Structure formats: structure tokens, C-alpha cells
């Protein structure tokens, strides 16, 4: 014990020294003495990230040791540390390093060339005790679970904890899986699928940092409470370039304030909405019922249906988004009007051979059209500039427009801009179908976008030249800008600097693309939701987490293949987790009975432990219900840990099961399970979620008779 305490104490001294060195270099880099601004910026960013990595390592810096059969020792921890005086010999292996893998997967039957695994139990910086497992012993037991059981039995605190010290073999295989496409992780309640997905992100950022770090990672969760619950996991592992969002946040600046009926949600989530949206746009590309007069000089010309139809066909054939195709429509109409006007104005005095006067007249007419309010009004009538919000709101508030677009009256509503989560993918789709909502040349329009592209292209050419120069040199120690930045980094030198960090910039930019996306509770996402996410990650690198048995959304997934194959054919793989690390056997048996009733094809996960406390039920009257809830809350307030009361929306003081998805509590009280079940399959999934949130204690209070499936509960 003394030698281990001394070794770990030495690691902390090395950590402190490294932290002091990095912070000193960071302060020096801020001054930027003797370097270019570009070099200063790169150094500051790099050192800031390194300081952050070192700062998160204090808690549980070293949590284990591996001994090989040859007698070599390796210590495993949150980060890697090296002995600079000894040719950078590793004195602490990062848990993500290949050499650390045996710590998580070695067993008595498959020792991975290891003789012993030692797990440290620490308090602060002090090693309190350790447990040993001797590996490779004939007839030996599988991996001991003392550390695991200590972790799962510990009272829940504020937020999810990382599992870096207790990753199990089936979890480690998924975390380190080398697959460039979509990985689906399915598991029942308590199997750790969410925390495994987050550790996989940390692993990918460790092994593919250069590819992933610049664009970051997006984590999508079902609700803000869930995101708050998991928010500390990745920072505790030293990773900060991560954006957390709910499906309702995927369009920046949009506020979700309403909820759809199941029928409306099912329709909005289906791919048939693509035809509806296209038809709604086409309906706004009109032909005049009567010719529209435009005054040019001293003649009047008209935009007739034939002219508008020709312009509309050309604009649609351009393949441009609606707002950008307006320029094509305008060009055709302008050509026809000026030709007609010239023919009438110049009749008798303007020769076809006099090109100078001809062009001067045309130029004057074009200038007049640019400033003509009647002409602008006609364009707005025939080919208006549209915004996603404006188009969709006008669609919802008009049964006639819904009919023309091929949608039913179930989408009609009085408040067009009372947005729901199901509207988000439709608005995102319209952003692509409509394009910029400002004419070319205005700030934020096509000209601004073209300018940004030109700047990036210029920067890319500069970098290409630097690459050619560097490749032609023999001095391998010479450092060029290509080692420090990409083309878009250089392009940013031409514009005002954005000082926000990556997560802030990405969250505010609808066009931001990520290198990897994690989708939790993915069974709830619709076909249209998936289109949004695929746009956010052109490389199609995803970790998808879910449980089809817990689906409550009418538009959600009924199979992973149906949702994913159209986007990543042959590029997605499936892995399942079968061990329940959260829910004790006593509680899981109750939930399993419900699961067998509404999803008999799904096998419940196996619990690793029992808690020794039987779940109970109690019938109360309407008058007794508030006191029963208060009694539960009062009892749990005197215990360590967390608790929640889950019930149907109409019961005051309860939380809907949907808002507890992915969360865990030491104690759960479920109120009126029969009323939750009243919603059919959706209600059964809700109740299944409610019953599986508890890690220690589960109670049920009910006013009506207990559903048959819960009759096994001990009565109070």
C-alpha cells in the first residue's frame, strides 16, 4: 500500500509541475512577444486546451494498474503522463490508449497476456485501498465487480458520472469500435448506453483529434433536463468542443412553444412532407390572372401569363432554391419587357444597326425597372421572397393552401408560428428549399456568401503554395502555416475576428457541420428529423443510442434499418448492451412483466445486482393522494441521493415520464399507473420508462385498481 501511495503521489507531483509549466507558457503566449499574430493565436488555443486537459485530471488521476506475465507494470488513468528525463517513458497511460485496453477486457479465461489487474479506491489524491484480480489462473473467476458494484450502489448526485474506472468488456468493445459510419447502440434501461456513447466520443477525439476537433461533436438529447444530466461527462474527460442540443434547438433562434397531436406529429415526421413543402412553394410561384401593367418611359408594357409562365419554367429548371431562382425569373421578365418597350419606343427612329443607342436605351430601361415600385410589386406577387417561418405559418393558417399542397386539415391551426418540435425539421428543410431570403448584393445574401467562398478559395491557394514550398525543402524542422491552420482559418483573417468558442459558434450557425453526431433516445426521431441530422454531418459519422421498446413518438422508429438504410446504405452497424447496471433485480422484474405485455419480442436486460428492497404499491383516495406524495418526498429528503415523483400530466406535483428519459434517481414514486397506461402502446412505453428510473427504491400509489401487470407489487 505504501509503495502505491507513493507512486500515485509522484504522479500528482508530476501533474502539478506540468500544469504550472503549461500555465506559464500560456501567460507568455498571451503577450505574444517575438511571434506573429497567427503564431500567437495558435499557441494560445493549444495551451488553453492543454491546461483544461490537466485541470480535469485531479479527481481519480490514477485508478488502476496492469501487470504483465513478464513482470512489467503499467498504471492506468484519466490522462497520459510521461517521464521527460527517461526518453518520455509513459508513467501513466491514458485510459483510451491501446495499451490500456486490457484493463477493461482481460478475464481469467482470456488474460490478454496479463497476470494481475489492480483497481485503486481513492479519496481526493489519496489511495485508500486497492483490490487485485489474478488473471490467467485455470478455473479462475471472471473479472471481479467490487469497483463496479461500489459505483452502481453509490447514491446518485447531480448529473451523470463518467465510468472511466469501471468500463466493462462489452462496453469497451463498443467504445473502441473502429467504424467510420453509423453505430447503433441499443439497450434496455440501465445498460449504460448513453454513458458508453459519451465515452466513445472521448475515445474518437483522442484517436482522431485532428480530423474531429476543428468542427466539433454534436450531442442530441430528448430534453434540457437530460442534457443537463449528461453535461459534465465529457468535460470530466477533458473534452469541451461539444455542442449539446435537443431536436427543438436544431434551428437557431427558434422557440418551441406548442405540442402536436399524435396524428399531426406522425404526418409532419413522414417523408410525404417533402412533397407538401415543395407544393407549398410552387403554389407561391404564380401566373397573373390578368396582365400586370408596367410603365416604361412613355409606353406601357405588360407582364402577361405567357411571359410569366416562360420565366417560371426557366427559374424552376435552374435548380436553384426558390429565393435565388427569383433572379432567373426576373431576368426573363425583364428581357421581355425591355424588348417590348424598345420595339415601341424606338419604332421609326432607332435603327437595329445602331448598337450604341440601342444599348443606351436598354440600359436606361433596366435602370428604370430597378427603381420601379410597380415592377417590384409585380415580382413580389408572382415570385415572392419567402422565409421558412412565413411560408409554413401561412400554410398552417389556410385550409385552402393546405389542400393545394396535398396536406390534410389535421395540420391547420389558428396560430401559425406556435412552433412545435415536429416543425423544426420542416423549417430546416425549407431553409434549403428557399435559400437566402435577401436579394443578391444585400448583406447576408448571395454576395456575402460568394465573398466568403472567394476568401476561402484564396486562402486555400495560399496554403497550396506553402505546401509546395515545404515539400521542396529538406529541412524537416522548418514550420510553415500548413502546420497551424486550414484554409478557412486563413480566410478569417480577412474579416472581423469571432472570439466565441467552437461550441458557441456552432450552436448559433444553422449551416455548421460536425465531424460526429451522437443521437440519444433516437427511437423518438422521425424520418424528417433524420434529414436534419444528416445535413449537420456530411461525413455520416454517428453514434446512435436508443431502445425501440421505449418509443413513445407516433413518428418514431419502428426499426433501425427503416430509418437509416436510405441515408447510409451498408454503412451502419448494430451493437446491443444486455446488462442492466442501474436497475436492481427487484425493480427490473416488475418492469419486465410490463415489457412482456406490450413488447414481447424484446428481452429485458439482466440486472447485475439486487438491492434487497421490494417495490411496493398503495391505494389511496383522491383526498389521500397529496398526503401520500408528501410523505414520500419527506422520507426521501432525509436520505442521501435523489428522488422524483412521476405521474400523468393532470396530477399536480408530478413529472411526466417523458421528461425523465435517460435520467436516474435513487427513489421513484409512480402515481396512477393505470392513467399512464390509458394511452395504449405509447402509455405502456411511458410507464416502462417510469418504472426503470430507480436505482434503489420504487413505490406506486394509485386511486383506481392497480393494472393487472403490476399486481406483483407488495401492498402497503
The answer to whether 376 is a known ligand-binding residue is no
Cα–Cα distance for residue pair 700/618, rounded to 1 Å = 6
Cα–Cα distance for residue pair 402/421, rounded to 1 Å = 20
The answer to whether 190 is a known ligand-binding residue is yes
Cα–Cα distance for residue pair 692/189, rounded to 1 Å = 6
Cα–Cα distance for residue pair 105/108, rounded to 1 Å = 10
Cα–Cα distance for residue pair 91/102, rounded to 1 Å = 17
- φ, ψ (nearest 5 deg) of residue 699: -130, 155
The answer to whether 189 is a known ligand-binding residue is yes
The answer to whether 261 is a known ligand-binding residue is no
Cα–Cα distance for residue pair 192/582, rounded to 1 Å = 8
SS3 for 693?
A: coil
The answer to whether 187 is a known ligand-binding residue is yes
The answer to whether 513 is a known ligand-binding residue is no
The answer to whether 191 is a known ligand-binding residue is yes
The answer to whether 49 is a known ligand-binding residue is no
Q: How many CA atoms lie within 13 A of 678 on its CB side?
A: 11
Cα–Cα distance for residue pair 216/402, rounded to 1 Å = 39
Nearest of 206, 217, 265, 215 to residue 245 by alpha carbon: 217
* DSSP secondary structure of 25-94: HHHHHHHTTTS-HHHHHHHHHHHHHHHHHHHTTSTTSEEEEEEETTS-EEEEESS-EEEGGGTTEEEEEE
**Residue 493 DSSP class:** G
CA distances from 199 to 95, 149, 716 (A): 10, 20, 42
Cα–Cα distance for residue pair 81/78, rounded to 1 Å = 10
* Cell numbers linked to 675: 392513467
SS3 for 680?
A: coil
Nearest of 88, 125, 131, 124 to residue 1 by alpha carbon: 131
Q: What are the residues facing 92 on neighbouring strands?
A: 81
User: What residues form the annotated binding site?
Assistant: 187-194
User: What residues form the annotated binding site for ATP?
Assistant: 187-194
Amino acid at each position: 500500500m505504501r509503495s502505491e501511495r507513493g507512486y500515485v503521489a509522484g504522479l500528482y507531483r508530476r501533474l502539478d509541475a506540468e500544469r504550472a509549466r503549461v500555465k506559464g507558457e500560456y501567460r507568455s503566449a498571451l503577450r505574444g512577444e517575438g511571434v506573429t499574430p497567427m503564431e500567437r493565436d495558435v499557441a494560445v488555443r493549444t495551451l488553453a486546451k492543454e491546461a483544461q486537459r490537466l485541470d480535469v485530471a485531479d479527481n481519480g488521476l490514477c485508478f488502476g494498474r496492469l501487470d504483465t506475465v513478464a513482470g512489467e507494470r503499467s498504471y492506468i488513468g484519466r490522462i497520459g503522463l510521461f517521464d521527460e528525463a527517461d526518453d518520455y517513458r509513459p508513467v501513466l497511460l491514458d485510459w483510451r490508449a491501446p495499451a490500456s485496453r486490457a484493463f477493461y477486457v482481460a478475464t481469467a479465461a482470456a488474460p490478454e497476456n496479463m497476470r494481475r489487474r489492480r483497481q485503486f479506491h481513492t479519496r481526493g489524491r489519496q489511495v485508500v485501498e486497492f483490490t487485485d484480480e489474478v488473471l490467467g489462473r485455470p478455473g479462475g473467476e471472471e473479472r471481479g465487480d467490487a469497483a463496479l458494484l461500489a459505483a452502481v450502489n453509490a447514491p446518485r448526485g447531480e448529473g451523470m458520472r463518467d465510468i472511466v474506472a469501471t468500463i466493462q468488456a462489452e462496453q469497451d468493445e463498443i467504445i473502441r469500435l473502429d467504424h467510420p459510419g453509423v453505430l447503433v447502440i441499443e439497450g434496455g434501461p440501465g445498460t449504460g448506453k448513453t454513458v458508453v456513447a459519451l465515452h466513445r466520443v472521448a475515445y474518437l477525439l483522442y484517436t482522431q483529434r485532428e480530423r474531429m476537433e476543428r468542427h466539433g461533436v454534436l450531442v442530441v438529447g430528448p430534453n434540457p433536463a437530460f442534457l443537463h444530466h449528461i453535461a459534465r461527462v465529457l468535460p470530466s474527460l477533458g473534452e469541451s468542443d461539444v455542442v449539446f442540443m435537443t431536436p427543438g434547438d436544431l434551428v437557431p433562434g427558434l422557440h418551441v412553444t406548442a405540442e402536436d397531436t399524435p396524428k399531426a406529429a406522425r404526418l409532419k415526421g413522414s417523408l410525404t412532407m417533402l412533397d407538401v413543402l415543395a407544393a407549398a412553394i410552387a403554389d407561391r410561384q404564380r401566373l397573373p390572372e390578368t396582365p400586370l401593367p408596367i410603365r416604361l418611359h412613355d409606353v406601357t408594357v405588360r407582364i402577361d401569363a405567357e411571359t410569366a409562365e416562360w420565366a417560371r419554367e426557366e427559374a424552376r429548371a435552374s435548380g436553384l432554391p426558390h429565393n435565388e431562382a427569383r433572379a432567373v425569373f426576373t431576368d426573363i421578365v425583364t428581357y421581355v419587357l425591355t424588348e417590348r418597350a424598345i420595339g415601341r419606343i424606338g419604332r421609326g427612329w432607332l435603327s437595329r444597326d445602331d448598337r450604341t443607342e440601342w444599348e443606351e436605351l436598354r440600359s436606361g430601361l433596366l435602370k428604370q425597372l430597378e427603381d420601379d415600385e410597380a415592377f417590384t410589386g409585380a415580382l413580389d406577387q408572382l415570385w415572392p421572397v419567402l422565409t421558412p417561418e412565413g411560408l409554413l405559418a401561412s400554410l398552417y393558417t389556410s385550409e385552402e393552401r393546405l389542400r393545394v399542397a396535398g396536406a390534410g386539415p389535421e395540420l391547420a391551426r389558428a396560430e401559425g408560428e406556435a412552433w412545435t418540435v415536429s416543425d423544426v425539421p420542416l423549417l430546416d428543410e425549407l431553409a434549403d428549399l428557399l435559400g437566402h431570403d435577401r436579394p443578391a448584393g444585400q448583406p447576408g445574401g448571395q454576395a456575402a456568401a460568394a465573398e466568403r467562398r472567394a476568401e476561402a478559395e484564396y486562402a486555400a491557394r495560399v496554403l497550396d503554395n506553402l505546401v509546395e514550398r515545404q515539400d521542396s525543402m529538406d529541412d524537416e524542422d522548418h514550420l510553415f502555416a500548413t502546420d497551424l491552420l486550414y484554409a478557412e482559418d486563413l480566410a478569417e483573417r480577412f474579416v472581423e475576428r469571432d472570439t466565441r468558442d467552437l461550441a458557441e459558434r456552432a450552436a448559433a450557425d444553422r449551416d455548421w457541420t460536425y465531424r460526429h453526431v451522437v443521437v440519444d433516445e433516437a427511437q423518438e426521431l422521425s424520418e424528417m428529423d433524420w434529414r436534419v441530422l444528416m445535413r449537420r454531418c456530411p461525413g455520416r459519422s454517428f453514434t446512435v443510442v436508443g431502445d425501440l421498446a421505449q418509443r413513445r413518438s407516433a413518428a418514431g422508429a419502428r426499426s433501425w434499418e427503416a430509418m437509416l438504410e436510405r441515408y447510409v446504405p451498408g454503412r451502419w452497424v448494430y451493437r446491443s448492451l444486455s446488462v442492466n447496471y442501474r436497475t436492481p433485480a427487484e425493480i427490473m422484474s416488475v418492469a419486465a412483466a410490463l415489457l412482456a405485455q406490450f413488447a414481447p419480442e424484446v428481452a429485458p436486460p439482466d440486472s447485475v445486482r439486487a438491492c434487497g428492497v421490494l417495490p411496493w404499491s398503495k391505494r389511496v383516495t383522491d383526498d389521500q393522494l397529496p398526503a401520500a406524495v408528501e410523505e414520500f418526498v419527506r422520507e426521501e429528503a432525509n436520505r442521501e441521493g435523489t428522488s422524483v415523483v412521476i405521474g400523468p400530466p393532470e396530477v399536480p406535483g408530478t413529472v411526466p415520464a417523458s421528461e425523465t428519459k435517460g435520467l436516474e434517481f435513487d427513489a421513484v414514486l409512480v402515481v396512477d399507473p393505470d392513467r399512464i397506461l390509458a394511452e395504449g402502446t405509447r402509455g405502456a412505453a411511458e410507464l416502462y420508462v417510469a418504472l426503470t428510473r430507480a436505482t434503489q427504491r420504487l413505490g406506486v400509489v394509485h386511486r383506481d385498481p392497480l393494472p393487472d401487470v403490476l399486481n406483483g407489487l407488495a401492498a402497503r
